[in-house]
């Protein structure tokens, strides 16, 4: 059966009104059989489906982006072996008073010196005017009997010799003759700054965590 559609009769009166079109009503859904009923006004459930699909796609995309970001950021962080070297625990119970032990921390020499009562008293009242890089022993130590410093001369980077030089219990750099006192303060020679004190804490009376 043929059916003459007049969909555009009002707006386009001259548009092929003589052509007969087949009826597809048998194949149409009920709501689309009314020819004035456009799909834009009958597809609310289609909009809902579109939103759900879009939301699902958005969630998948965000999850993928998050995974990529986590992967990227974790690839930039330090590996476990480097992190393990970032801090070291040092057992100091065997360092006798007056002795200085050396360790390696982050590729640098690390000195831990057990200061004697005499060494502590010798530097207790040194005036700041006598120092190139004024710092008190209290600023450079957590416990006065323990000095923790990086063993790199602040002049040009040689490794000073502990318990040497003009200051008793101090450090001497043989490269160009810098002297440090027993709290690692630059006292004589070309070194402009004190030996660097790294971050450290006491985990107990006999264990120090450096880093």
List residues binding ligand FES (CB under 6 A): 153, 155-158, 173, 175-178, 189-191
Question: Which pair of tokens denotes residue 156?
Answer: 């040009």
Question: Which pair of tokens denotes residue 129?
Answer: 């005017």
Taking the least distance from each CB to ligand FES, the nearer of 188 and 211 is 188
Residue 74 Cβ vs ligand FES, minimum distance, rounded to whole Å:
40
CA 142/CA 30 separation, integer angstroms: 87
147, containing H or E segment: strand 146-150
| Residue with tokens 């303060």, as numbered in its chain | 185
16 is catalytic: no
Catalytic residue among 37, 41, 155, 176: 176
Are 138 and 199 within 8 A, CB to CB?
Answer: no
SS3 157: coil
Residue 79 Cβ vs ligand FES, minimum distance, rounded to whole Å:
32
11 burial class (0-12, 13-18, 19+ CB within 10 angstroms)?
Answer: exposed
Residue 192 Cβ vs ligand FES, minimum distance, rounded to whole Å:
10
Residue 105 Cβ vs ligand FES, minimum distance, rounded to whole Å:
19
Taking the least distance from each CB to ligand FES, the nearer of 48 and 157 is 157
Taking the least distance from each CB to ligand FES, the nearer of 178 and 194 is 178
| Residue with tokens 């962080």, as numbered in its chain | 77
Nearest CA-CA partner of 211 in 87, 107, 112: 87
Taking the least distance from each CB to ligand FES, the nearer of 158 and 193 is 158
Residue 178 Cβ vs ligand FES, minimum distance, rounded to whole Å:
4
Taking the least distance from each CB to ligand FES, the nearer of 90 and 152 is 152
SS3 72: helix
What Å distances lie between residue 204 and 88, 90, 93, 207, CA to CA? 14, 11, 10, 5
Q: Which residues are catalytic?
A: 176
């Amino acid at each position: 059966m043929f059916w003459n559609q007049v969909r555009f009769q009002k707006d386009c009166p001259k548009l092929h009104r003589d052509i007969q079109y087949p009826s597809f009503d048998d194949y149409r859904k009920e709501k689309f059989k009314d020819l004035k009923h456009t799909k834009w006004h009958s597809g609310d459930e289609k909009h809902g489906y579109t939103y759900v699909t879009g939301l699902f796609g958005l969630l998948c995309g965000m999850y993928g982006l998050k995974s990529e970001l986590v992967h990227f950021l974790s690839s930039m962080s330090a590996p476990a072996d480097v992190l393990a070297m970032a801090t070291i625990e040092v057992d100091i119970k065997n360092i006798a008073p007056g002795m200085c032990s050396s360790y390696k921390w982050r590729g640098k020499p690390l000195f831990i010196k057990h200061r004697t009562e005499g060494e502590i008293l010798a530097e207790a009242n040194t005036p700041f005017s006598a120092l190139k890089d004024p710092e008190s022993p209290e600023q450079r130590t957590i416990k006065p009997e323990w000095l923790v410093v990086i063993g790199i001369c602040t002049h040009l980077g040689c490794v000073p010799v502990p318990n040497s030089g003009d200051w008793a219990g101090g450090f001497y750099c043989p490269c160009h003759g810098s002297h440090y006192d027993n709290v690692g303060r630059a006292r004589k020679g070309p070194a402009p700054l004190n030996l660097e004190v790294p971050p450290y804490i006491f985990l107990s009376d006999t264990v120090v965590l450096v880093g």
